[in-house]
Amino acid sequence: MTLDSTAGTLALLRGLRAVRQLRPDPLPEDALRNILEVARWSGSAGNRQPWEFVVVRDRDMLRRLSMIEGANAGHLATSGAGIAIVIHPEVPDLDAYDEGRLAERILLAATAQGLGAAVGHFTGPGDTWAASGEAKRLLGIPVEFVLRETISLGYPAARLERTPNPPGRKTLEQLVHLEHY
Ligand SMILES: Cc1cc2nc3c(=O)[nH]c(=O)nc-3n(C[C@H](O)[C@H](O)[C@H](O)COP(=O)(O)O)c2cc1C
C-alpha cells in the first residue's frame, strides 16, 4: 500500500458518517455486488456467519418498511436499495456483536464507492420487537430469525444533514487511558 492509498484508506475509515438524505436512483449492479461481497467476508465469533441478506429495491416495499411504527428507518423511503440483515439467533450477545461488525463493513463498502448509507433500527424503545415483526412479515422472513437492522443505500442527496447531538465525537483525551484507567 502506498502512502497515498494508506492516507486515503484512513480518511475513509475516519470519515464514515451516516448519510440519511439519499436519492432514490437505482444502484449500479456491480456496486451492490461489491457491498455484498464485502459483507460476506465479515468476521464473526467462531466464524459462524450467522446472517443472510435481503436486498430490497422495490420502491413500494422500501416505502412500507420506512413507515413502520416503532422503527427508525425513514431513510429507506428514498434509498436506492435497502439491505435487511437477517440473523440466525444463537448466542444473543455474540449475534449482536457480529451484526455490528457486518453493518459497519456494509457502510464502509458503500462509502468507498461514493454511495451514502445509514443504519435503520427495528427494535423499539424498551426493546420491543413489534416493528421488527412487522418488517419480517412484509419481507417474508421466518419468525424464528432476528431482523434488527436494515442498511439504506443510495447516492447522497445534494444537501446532507449530519447527525446532531453531539455533532462530532469525543476527543481522544476523553477516551484513552494510557497504561491504566
Ligand atoms: C446499533 C445502531 C443502531 C442505529 N440505529 C439507527 C437508526 O435507527 N436510525 C438512524 O438513522 N441511524 C441509526 N444509527 C446510526 C447512528 O445514529 C449514527 O451512526 C450515530 O448517531 C453517529 O452519527 P454519524 O454516523 O453521522 O457520525 C444506528 C447505529 C447503531 C450502531
With 90 as the cut, is the pLDDT of residue 2 above it? no
The reported pLDDT for the residue numbered 39 is: 98
d(CA 162, CA 148): 23
* DSSP collapsed to 3 states, 37-97: HHHHCCCCHHHCCCEEEEEECCHHHHHHHHCCCCCECHHHHHCCEEEEEEECCCCHHHHHH
pLDDT band, residue 51 (cuts 50/70/90):
very high
With 70 as the cut, is the pLDDT of residue 1 above it? no
d(CA 13, CA 70): 30
The reported pLDDT for the residue numbered 128 is: 92
**Ligand 1 atom closest to Cα of 122?**
8
Which residue's CA lies nearest to atom 9 of ligand 1? 120
d(CA 89, CA 96): 9
Is-above-0.85 flag for pTM?
Answer: yes
Cell digits for 75? 431513510
* Mean local confidence (pLDDT), 67-86: 98
pLDDT digits (tens, 9 = 90+) for 85-128: 999 999 999 999 999 999 999 999 999 999 999 999 999 877 79
Q: Are 20 and 77 in contact (CB under 8 A)?
A: no
Name the residue of 21, 111, 119, 150 to mutate for ligand 1: max ligand atoms within 8 A of Cβ. Answer: 119
* Mean local confidence (pLDDT), 27-50: 98
Q: How far is the CA of 173 from the centre of ligand 1 (A)?
A: 23
Domains and CATH numbers, the chain: 18-158 (3.40.109.10)
Residue 36 burial (10 A CB sphere; 0-12, 13-18, 19+): middle
Q: How far is the CA of 132 from the centre of ligand 1 (A)?
A: 17
Name the residue of 79, 163, 170 to mutate for ligand 1: max ligand atoms within 8 A of Cβ. Answer: 163
What is the DSSP code (8-state) at residue 114? Answer: T
d(CA 103, CA 88): 15
| Helix, strand, coil percentages for the chain (3-state, nearest 5) | 40, 20, 40
List the Cα angle 14/147/144 in 5-degree steps: 145
pLDDT digits (tens, 9 = 90+) for 123-180: 987 779 999 999 999 999 999 999 999 999 999 999 998 877 777 899 999 999 999 9
Q: Are 105 and 158 in contact (CB under 8 A)?
A: no
